[in-house]
Structure 1
Amino acid sequence: MARPGSEHPTKLELEILKILWEESPLPVREVRAKLESEANRPLAHSSVITTLNIMYDKGLLRRRKAGKSFLFSPKVEKDQIAGGIMGDLLSRLFDGSPSAMMLNLLETTDINSRELAELRKLITRKAKEQS
């Protein structure tokens, strides 16, 4: 029995989206070349075509005919995808607690002083918005 489709992009789909968020529209051959060079992910041309078409069917990409090939571009924004994945992680792993999620992140990663300053600014802004 086939595995049900994921509501979030797969690892390969995310790699493709990252490429297309940086530069688009791109034909299959350029997406494949960037997967090999930037993501160190060698794939057959047919595998890339199949994945791009699946992403199109899922509503993640746009495509338009250009000569004999298609040009692909993202249909979704990075923030939209990140929000969905983060929301899923928040609910499934941290029982909906943003503070538990942030505390885990702070405890398990190396954050430099510049990033901490940015977090303080965001927290201050959010606190003011709720006052």
Structure 2
Amino acid sequence: MRLHVTEAESAVLAALWARGPLSFASLIEEVKAGQPWADATIKTLLHRLMQKGAVRSQKDDGRQRYHAVIDRQTWVEGEVQDLLDRLFDGKPDRLVALLAERPDL
């Protein structure tokens, strides 16, 4: 079973993928660089990701740091598979045909 990550949650993961393990303060700063969210919103998203098992916390040098458990490539592949299943009956050739017909996409 694939882990479902919302678009908002993916912004938190993107910060962790880009900068590696981060303290809470650094994670907040990194996410806020791309999103106009309040600290509480980011904290909620982080908590959800931890409940799902997508992020874990670990003490490093006495500081709590957050690590992405899933890697970006695995997440992207799952998102593409969901798209294929939802819109193209799970058949990649149908997506490829659409992209070939519409290179502007």
Band the TM-score falls in, shorter-chain normalisation: 0.7 to 0.9
Contact 1:32 1:43 in 2 (8 A): no
Gaps of 5+ in 1: 1-6, 112-131
Indicate the percent of aligned positions where both proteins have the same amino acid: 29
Q: For the aligned residues, what is the CA RMSD? A: 2.0
Alpha-carbon distance in 2 for matches of 1:104, 1:29: 43
Do the aligned partners of residues 103 and 51 (structure 1) sit closer, same or farther apart at CA in structure 2, a change above 3 Å counting? same
Alpha-carbon distance in 2 for matches of 1:80, 1:54: 19
Contact 2:12 2:45 in 1 (8 A): no
Do the aligned partners of residues 87 and 50 (structure 1) sit closer, same or farther apart at CA in structure 2, a change above 3 Å counting? same
Q: TM-score, normalised by structure 1?
A: 0.68
Alpha-carbon distance in 2 for matches of 1:109, 1:32: 37
Corresponding pairs, count: 102
Larger Rg computed on CA atoms: 1
Q: TM-score, normalised by structure 2?
A: 0.82
> What amino acid does structure 1 have at the position aligned with 2:71?
E
Alpha-carbon distance in 2 for matches of 1:15, 1:109: 27
Gaps of 5+ in 2: none
Alpha-carbon distance in 2 for matches of 1:54, 1:78: 18
From 73, 81, 89, give the equivalent of 2:83.
89
CA-CA distance at 1:74 after TM superposition: 0.5
3-state SS of 2:66 partner: strand
Do the aligned partners of residues 61 and 103 (structure 1) sit closer, same or farther apart at CA in structure 2, a change above 3 Å counting? same
> What amino acid does structure 1 have at the position aligned with 2:95?
M
**Bigger relative CO (Cα 8 Å, ≥ 6 apart):** 2
Contact 1:62 1:74 in 2 (8 A): yes
